[in-house]
Structure 1
Amino acid sequence: MSTETPLYLRVAERLRARIESGELPPGARLPSVSEISREYGGSNSVATSAYRLLVDEGLVVSRHGAGHYVRSHDTHELLVRRHRVKSKDSPFAQGAAEQGSVGTWRHESTTEQASEEVAARLSIEPDAPVMHTSYVYLADDQPVQVAESWEPLAVTGQSLVALPEVGPYAGVGVAARMRVLGIDVGEPVERVRARMASRTEAQALGMTPPGPVMVIERTYYDQTTGRPVETADIVMRGDRWVAVYGQAPDAG
């Protein structure tokens, strides 16, 4: 029985040594998959497996369409997510701007019937009409977050805020849009967990290969009636985000 170390592990070890020695400094672009294959032999899967291991170890970051880079610890790698219930603008755009990035997003809204799961989260009947909006959020044109949002049309359907990204209140966030209807949503309820990205999520987020993501199930409630007015599934790149809850008191 052969006990030879698999080629992808040997490739990973050689790249790791070059990184740890400083030969490949933070921010340096690493050889492409095809370059690795030519240098070490084997198929492209050898290089892909080696890079997957180094990404999992935190030594390397993968940038969709741009290759692999040595992770830099001297730059702001993480985007901090904080609650911004009272924000008049997009909480995502505002938060990105405060961290030196430009936040943009793509979106698509459709009217559909609530699934049993969505209906349970919104306390409505299955098949009741909802506005479903899909989002891809970008920081400096790089995808960092995707989301699926549902709002009961019984709440928003007769108003100018029915389409979240169309009209005079487009893009201002759930809390600000609900205030137009006289609804105070307060702090949302969030369930947070971590898992590996699905293939579809990884493709949308530019994660090659798929990596860990932070998943948030969020629901906003009318603080007067207790009625859910929006629920969403938010998937964030685990290598780009840290979530911060609460606020320290002012020192003065």
Structure 2
Amino acid sequence: MVPDEPPPYQKVADDLRRRLAAGEWLVGDKLPSRAQLADHYKVGPNVLQKAQELLIVEGLLEGRAGVGTFVRVPRKRRRLVRSRHGERRGIHPFKGDMAELGVSGSWDAHSQARTSAPEGIARRLGIAAGDLCVRTAYEFFADGQPVQTSVSWEPMAITGGTPVLLPEMGPMAGKGVVERMRSIRITVDALVEVPRPARATQAQANLLGIALGDLVQVIERTYYDTDGRPVETADIVVPDLRWEVAYEYGIQPGTE
């Protein structure tokens, strides 16, 4: 196989995707059996199965146990609005965002204190590489379905010895960065987000229910206090297949 050539299952998936787009099979139609399709593409059953599983993850097909594989009703790509107004609702920004979409937002989190900051994270936080931080890995859900992941870093020089050391424990658990920092008399008044397209790693794909190499948006977010000091930074990963990331800006009225 040529080094840059896609693997066989990807080529089969690409052609099946093309045939679906051309209307060869319509919503609700049953596809030929795996044995028939494998024979058509001159591949083994495992290659064909992997190709179909990719299209199932993408929401194009659905498997019905003991029956076969069918064309699925297309999933709607929803808009995920990134807005500073999310911090003004008095609840966690993600929960507020999901409430506006009419779904229930929830998340799982795992924090590790006394974690040495890698060089790139240290640069974003304005600290030295190796300085101790609290690292928190999040999985966010809408009505129980994965929406995004996030890995957050907070310097222990800021939160160490306070009730908000661990973001999801204590009296301010689940309140978000701005409210937690305010509780220890740190005012957050700015955030910077840098979105970049990327391809899902295997770990990201497993958490988000997508395929390895699927397009994702990686948002590098950093919160700053009134002195311009970074107090938290995170990498947020959103699957492009399901969510369109949009930014909302307020317009200050002019003075007469």
Q: TM-score, normalised by structure 2?
A: 0.77
Residue of structure 2 aligned with 1:217, choices 210, 220, 223: 220
Q: Say if 2:70 is the partner of 1:72.
A: no
Whether 2:191 is the aligned partner of 1:188: answer: yes
**Residues 183 and 146 from structure 1, CA distance in 2 versus in 1: closer, same or farther, beyond 3 angstroms?**
same
Contact 2:9 2:47 in 1 (8 A): no
Return closer, same or farther for 1:127/1:62 CA change in 2, 3 Å cut-off: farther
Contact 2:12 2:51 survives alignment (8 Å): no
Alpha-carbon shift at residue 13 of structure 1 (Å): 5.1
Q: Does 1:161 align with 2:164?
A: yes
Distance 2:217 2:193 in 1: 12
Match of 2:107 in 1: 105
8 Å Cα contact 1:37-1:44 kept in structure 2: no
Aligned-pair RMSD on alpha carbons? 3.3
CA distance in 2, matches of 1:139, 1:22: 33
Q: Distance in 2 between matches of 1:55 and 1:17?
A: 15
The answer on whether the counterparts of 1:8 and 1:46 sit within 8 Å (CA) in structure 2 is no
Shift of 1:71: 5.3
The question of whether the paired residues in 1 share the 8 Å contact of 2:187 and 2:225 is answered with: yes
Partner residue, 2:118: 115
CA-CA distance at 1:134 after TM superposition:
0.4
8 A contact 1:150–1:232 mirrored in 2? yes
Contact 2:79 2:246 in 1 (8 A): no
Hey, what does 2:132 align to over in structure 1? Answer: 129
Gaps of 5+ in 2: 1-7, 39-43, 64-68
**What CA distance in whole angstroms lies between the structure 2 residues aligned with 1:106 and 1:123?**
28
Instruction: State the distance in 2 between where 1:123 and 1:68 align.
Output: 52
1:148 pairs with 2:145 = no
Q: From the superposition, tell whether residues 213 and 158 of structure 1 become closer, same or farther in structure 2 (CA, over 3 Å).
A: same
Supply the distance in 2 between the matched residues of 1:207 and 1:29 (Cα, whole angstroms): 23
- Matches of 2:149 and 2:9 in 1, distance apart? 35
In the TM superposition, residue 123 of structure 1 has moved relative to its aligned partner by 0.9
Identity of aligned residues (%): 34
Q: Which has the higher strand share?
A: 2
Partner of 2:4: none
Query: By how many angstroms is 1:174 displaced?
Result: 0.8
Do the aligned partners of residues 220 and 60 (structure 1) sit closer, same or farther apart at CA in structure 2, a change above 3 Å counting?
A: same
In structure 2, do the counterparts of structure 1 residues 9 and 175 end up closer, same or farther at CA, with 3 Å as the change threshold? same
SS in 2 for 1:245: strand
Q: 1:246 maps to what in 2?
A: 248
* Counterpart contact for 2:138–2:149, Cα < 8 Å: yes
> For the Cα contact (< 8 Å) 1:86–1:175, is it kept in 2?
no
Q: Deviations over 1:185-243 (max 9, x none)?
A: 223111111011011111111113541000011111112x1111000011111112222
CA contact (8 A) 2:190 2:225 kept: no
Q: 1:120 to 1:55 in 2, by over 3 A?
A: same
Q: Which amino acid aligns with 1:80?
A: L
Compared CA separation, residues 17 and 170, structure 1 to 2 (3 A): same
Task: Report the AA paired with residue 86 of structure 1.
Answer: R
Structure 2 counterparts to residues 170-189 of structure 1, below 5 A: 170-189=173-192
TM-score normalised per structure 1: 0.78
Deviation digits for residues 152-177 of structure 1 (CA, Å, limit 9, x no counterpart): 11111121111100111111111111
In the TM superposition, residue 246 of structure 1 has moved relative to its aligned partner by 2.8
